[in-house]
């Protein structure tokens, strides 16, 4: 048994999909990339819930893990019939996730060197490998599972994981209905899992999928059940647990020799359990009603662990930094002071030697080494400016600054009144400037477009470092500043646009000076 583990690891790294020539005169792509072609792709990021509201639930329609274990995403261009995505890779296989109707997804295992065409049946993706013979039932396995086993477009597992999106609100109460449907979706999930396992076996018996792909799915299934038992505390029947050729093979250890397995979801899922355990041991900070994990202690504990090899350690540290920044980004009062964000960013740069991973982190969260104490901003075209530069460009005018974010309901509620004031006082010499604290640029840009804001829109680039923000104690939003014609701050906490009479009085006062 001890010798099986390294053999399995080699098998999964080198053994998927024996290549078969199709005999077609199609130019083979470069071996270090795959080419994905999407024909008339619909926007599958949206989910329509039981309330009938349409919501964007996914940032990207296509996602995959690159060679640096960074999760990458891609969205389709709406203006073209064909979209093409080229993924550079130096490994044999890439797992690809295609979002379907916001919360569901189709998963694919694609061999390096392949060219794959995606067409759509309704909104559902159907894949075809163009450069070699591959059974359509194999590459479209998830599509067939969805058609044969699920009651609708969403698995019972998806419904369980997103209960609030699928729970109706009949009498007696939402809370009671939520509890009822949670039990029901767990029951349905176990039935679907059993049917999926049987379907996979029948597909192999009918030679509708290859032996190697069958083994890959069996491993996914085995470790998927173990993850459900770990996170959800589910119990499974012995018949379901034992109906797997890998049932007696222990999970590959977290060693350097197995680091290539990190590119496969079943292995990463189990690794994530260890990270989850680390986080569960950390203390919570905040209040009983609003709190988060103290990611600072999680970061320090990861650095002290001696049994983590480099790629896993880097992944854990990245998750921790992202957790710290996310905890701050969508809260009116940040959990972690800017000094701690700066401190742990420096630690992250010291611990992580992978330059691609560092670059990804810094670009995604707009974390640059602080060059000044100024507030650094970016406009919608990607141009960088400091707040001082923007303020100086409006000398001779009264400047009204709005600190907001797309996720802040109170901020959005003030926007209609802000636009009315802008229309009335803009021609008189009042400049309205909007500064967002959004981390996700797409959310910021979409909100600007929906609300029809003016051209003076900026997003913060160094909110975790800016001394100006700390000096002004801008810890909550919405927050408004008022500057006179000389560029002097005259109101550190100016009235909101909804307080129309108060702010109009101040506008008139400083315009007359």
Max mean pLDDT range (108-112, 285-289, 472-476)? 108-112
User: What is the residue-wise DSSP string for 183-248?
Assistant: HHHHHHHHHHHHHHHHHHHHHHHTTSS-HHHHHHHHHHHHHHHHHHHHHH-----HHHHHSSTTTT
Q: Take residue 51 and report the two structure tokens written for it.
A: 């309330």
pLDDT in tens, 286-315: 877 778 899 999 999 999 988 788 888 999
Q: What share of the chain is helix, strand, coil (3-state, %, to 5)?
A: 45, 20, 40
3-class SS at 438? coil
pLDDT of amino acid 122: 81
Q: What is the pLDDT of residues 251-271, one digit of tens each?
A: 666 666 667 788 888 888 878
Residue whose C-alpha is closest to residue 262's, from 318, 312, 322: 312
Burial of 252 (0-12, 13-18, 19+ CB in 10 A): middle
What whole-number distance in Å separates Cα of residue 120 and Cα of residue 104?
15
HEC per residue, 339-403: HHHHHHHHHHHHHCCCHHHHHHHHHHCCCCCCCCCCCEEEECCCCEEEHHHHHHCCCCCEEEEEE
Beta bridge partners of 116: 36, 129
* Cis upstream peptide for 478 (omega within 30°): yes
Q: pLDDT by residue (tens digit) across 48-80?
A: 776 666 666 777 889 999 988 888 888 887 656
Q: Which pair of tokens denotes residue 501? A: 């009479």
Confidence category of residue 36, pLDDT binned at 50, 70, 90: very high
Longest dimension (CA), the chain: 86
Using DSSP, state whether 75 is helix, strand or coil: coil
pLDDT tens profile 411-432: 888 999 999 999 999 999 999 9
Joined together, the tokens standing for residue 356 give 């691609």
- Residues 92, 111: contact at Cβ < 8 Å? yes
């Amino acid at each position: 048994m001890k010798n099986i583990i390294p053999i399995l690891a080699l098998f999964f790294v080198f053994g998927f999909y024996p290549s078969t020539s199709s005999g077609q005169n199609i130019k083979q792509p470069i071996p270090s990339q795959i080419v994905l072609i999407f024909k008339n792709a619909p926007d599958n990021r949206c989910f329509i819930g039981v309330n009938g509201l349409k919501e964007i639930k996914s940032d990207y329609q296509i996602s995959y893990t690159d060679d640096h274990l960074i999760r990458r995403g891609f969205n389709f261009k709406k203006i073209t019939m064909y979209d093409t995505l080229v993924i550079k890779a130096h490994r044999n296989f890439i797992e690809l996730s295609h979002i379907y109707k916001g919360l569901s997804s189709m998963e694919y295992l694609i061999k390096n060197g392949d060219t794959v065409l995606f067409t759509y049946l309704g909104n559902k993706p159907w894949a075809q490998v163009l450069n070699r013979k591959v059974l359509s039932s194999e590459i479209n396995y998830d599509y067939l599972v969805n058609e044969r086993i699920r009651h609708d477009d969403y698995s019972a597992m998806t419904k369980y994981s997103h209960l609030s999106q699928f729970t109706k609100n009949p009498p007696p109460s939402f809370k009671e209905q939520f509890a009822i449907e949670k039990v029901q979706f767990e029951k349905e999930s176990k039935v679907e899992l059993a049917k999926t396992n049987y379907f996979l076996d029948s597909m192999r018996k009918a030679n509708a999928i290859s032996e190697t792909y069958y083994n890959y799915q069996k491993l996914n299934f085995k470790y998927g059940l173990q993850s459900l038992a770990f996170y959800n505390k589910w119990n499974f029947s012995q018949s379901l647990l034992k109906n797997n050729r890998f049932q007696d093979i222990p999970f590959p250890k977290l060693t350097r020799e197995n680091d290539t397995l990190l590119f496969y979801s079943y292995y990463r899922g189990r690794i994530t359990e260890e990270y989850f355990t680390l986080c569960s041991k950390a203390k919570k900070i905040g209040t009983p009603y609003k709190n988060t994990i103290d990611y600072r202690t999680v970061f320090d504990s990861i650095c002290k662990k001696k049994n983590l090899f480099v790629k896993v350690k880097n992944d854990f540290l990245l998750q921790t930094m992202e957790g710290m920044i996310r905890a701050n980004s969508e809260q009116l009062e940040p959990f972690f002071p800017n000094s701690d964000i700066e401190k742990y960013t420096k630690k992250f740069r010291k611990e992580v030697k992978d330059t691609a991973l560092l670059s990804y982190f810094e670009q995604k969260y707009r974390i640059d080494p602080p060059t000044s104490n100024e507030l650094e901003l970016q406009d919608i075209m990607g141009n960088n400016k400091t707040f001082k530069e923007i303020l100086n460009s409006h000398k001779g005018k009264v400047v009204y600054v709005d600190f907001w974010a797309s996720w802040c309901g109170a901020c959005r509620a003030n926007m209609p009144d802000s636009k009315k004031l802008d229309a009335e006082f803009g021609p008189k010499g009042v400049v309205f400037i909007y500064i967002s604290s959004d981390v996700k640029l797409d959310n910021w840009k979409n909100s600007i477009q929906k609300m029809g804001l003016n051209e003076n829109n900026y997003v913060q680039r160094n909110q975790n470092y800016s001394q100006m923000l700390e000096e002004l104690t801008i810890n909550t939003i919405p927050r408004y500043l008022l500057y006179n014609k000389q560029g002097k701050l005259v109101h550190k906490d100016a009235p909101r646009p909804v307080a129309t009479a108060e702010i109009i009085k101040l506008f008139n006062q400083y315009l007359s000076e």
